[in-house]
Amino acid sequence: MIQLQGLTQQFSNGRGIFDLTFEVGKGEVFGFLGPNGAGKSTTIRHLMGYMKPQKGIALIQGFNTWEQQEKAREKIGYLPGEISFMDGMNGIEFIDLMAGMQGLKDKKRRNELIERLQFEPKTPIRKMSKGMKQKIGIVVTFMHNPEVYILDEPTSGLDPLMQRVFIDLVLEEKAKGKTFLISSHSFSEIERTCERAAIIKDGRIVTVKNIHDLQFMQRKIYDITLANKHDVEKIQASNLIIENTNDNVVRIIIQGDYNELIEELSKYNVKNISSVSQSLEDVFMNYYDTRRSL
């Protein structure tokens, strides 16, 4: 459904995307993960036919996204990272302007989406929060029943409840055989919807893997607070990977297998466990660079 073959675009500053090759099958939800500046938007610009590749091709439903732009774009639902709104409009005016451009006549799906995303569509756009604007973008992207969805950081600004609504929308569309490419710099944004993901760094694909394999390989960090110094000394002598210790708080690194941690912790008086949030850079990149060759 979506194919990239050796897609390359180098900017004059040397940055860009280099020899990107991967495929997304019909009915698949595919994550496109990378830190800021990795090349996700540049890749999406090619998928939308906004840029001519220096080398390689991008295809959507077999249509070359540059040479057959109109055909390729026909069935795409595109949610940009930053939506450009017209000044002075309210939400529903913008949605209906876009519906007109999409040739959409039936308002049933539009209304259903507004109801599910729970926002007041007559609010002037200039008064809207980032999350509300994002909801408008989601309505516009989903209302015309596209075959292929290309979504750039779709849940940014949405609260957890609305993220759940969004996930349900994606899974419902997937069940209908729709195809998704979801770009993100956050693993948690894609792990509940995607089956596979590509990781991009400095314009190059680092790996394309099943999401469960990525979850397993993901390095997790926990701060464990123990009741006393004696327990701290004992845990330090265990086989767990300990990054550092601060008073009674021991920072432990887990990769994939939790059983050893659970078994070890059962020996102590544990006062608190908290997971340490990490950027995608921390989670994958440093780990891959230093400890694993792909």
Nearest distance from residue 281's CB to ligand ATP, in Å? Answer: 12
CA–CA gap between residue 167 and residue 216 (Å, rounded):
22
Q: Among residues 46 and 73, whose Cβ is nearest to ligand ATP?
A: 46
Query: Which stretch in 8-16, 120-128, 238-246, 258-266 sits in contact with ligand ATP by CB under 6 A?
Result: 8-16
- Binding flag, residue 184, ligand ATP (CB under 6 A): no
Q: Is 40 an interacting residue with respect to ligand ATP (CB under 6 A)? A: yes
- Compute how many residues bind ligand ATP; rule: CB under 6 A: 14
Choose which of 185, 192, 209, 220 interacts with ligand ATP (CB under 6 A): 185
Confirm or reject binding of residue 193 to ligand ATP (CB under 6 A): no
Residue 39 near ligand ATP by CB under 6 A? yes
Build a one-symbol-per-residue string for 216-235: x at contacts with ligand ATP by CB under 6 A, - elsewhere.
--------------------
**Torsion, Cα of 145, 147, 149, 150 (10° steps):** -130
Cα separation of the two ends of the chain: 26
Residues in the chain: 294
**From the CB of 218, what's the least distance to ligand ATP, in Å?**
20
Give the strand pairing for 249-255 and 241-246.
Answer: antiparallel
Q: Cβ of residue 201: shortest distance to ligand ATP, in angstroms?
A: 9
Taking CB under 6 A as the criterion, the residue among 5, 41, 90, 279 binding ligand ATP is: 41
d(CA 142, CA 135): 11
Binding of ligand ATP by 177 (CB under 6 A): no
Query: Which bin fits 128, alpha (ψ -120 to 50), beta or left (φ > 0)?
Result: beta
Show contacts of 48-51: CB within 8 Å, 24+ apart.
48/73, 48/76, 48/78, 48/150, 49/73, 51/9
C-alpha span between 287 and 279 (Å, rounded): 12
Chain residues in the site for ligand ATP (CB under 6 A): 11, 13, 15-16, 34, 36-42, 81, 185
